[in-house]
Amino acid sequence: MKKSLCFATNNAHKLEEIQAILGDSFDLLSLKDINCIEELPETGNTLEANSLQKAQYLYDHYQVNCFADDSGLEVSALGGEPGVYSARYAGEQRVHADNINLLLKNLSSKADRSAQFRTVITLFQNGEYHQFEGIIKGQIIEELRGTDGFGYDPIFMPEGFDKTFAEMSLEEKGEISHRARAFQKLVAFLK
């Protein structure tokens, strides 16, 4: 029998990406599937704290085994910014284009364009939690390339590749992304 796990998101891109990694071994539920319509708390100042806060909220309020993630783009020349504030870097409206434009502006005079995407996943299961981290290093390029993906994907080129995340297929990105690396650790733990 398949185990059900709730993923603390309604983001269709994330759900599709993660279902592909999990395969048929789990029945992946979204927030909508468990009738969670409220905004999940995300007031921590680290990826670890936000991930834990969201997963614990779901476990406490909906009594479901669940996991939550928080991801951020960490740019070396900007002291790790935007980091935990990646989604709202240019403001609470959370517009990808605005975030990208601000990041490129802030990097315009910097020679070092190294960056990394980092994901922290918190699994809350049977009253206990475990955290898993995934990192992929790369560079911020100067112009947008590609139409797939979301967020900073059009300007992030992972190490060892000549195309951005936004130029990769879902399968290609799914094999190497920060989220995929964290989820592989989660899946290994679950199995």
State CA 16 to chain mean position distance: 13
Do 94 and 48 touch, CB atoms closer than 8 A? no
60 among known catalytic residues: no
Tens of pLDDT, residue by residue over 18-46, are: 787 777 878 889 999 999 999 898 899 99
Does 6 score more than 90 pLDDT?
Answer: yes
CATH 3.30.160.100 fits 3-186, yes or no: no
> Each residue of 59-101: pLDDT tens digit?
999 999 999 999 999 999 999 999 999 999 999 888 999 999 9
| Contact between residue 6 and residue 33 where contact means Cβ atoms under 8 Å apart | yes
Residue in 33, 70, 148, 153 annotated catalytic: 70
Host H or E run for residue 54: helix 47-62
Lowest model confidence (mean pLDDT) among 55-64, 94-103, 178-187:
178-187
Q: Where are the domains of the chain?
A: 3-186
Rounded Cα gap, residues 142 and 174, in angstroms: 24
106-116: per-residue pLDDT in tens? 999 999 999 99
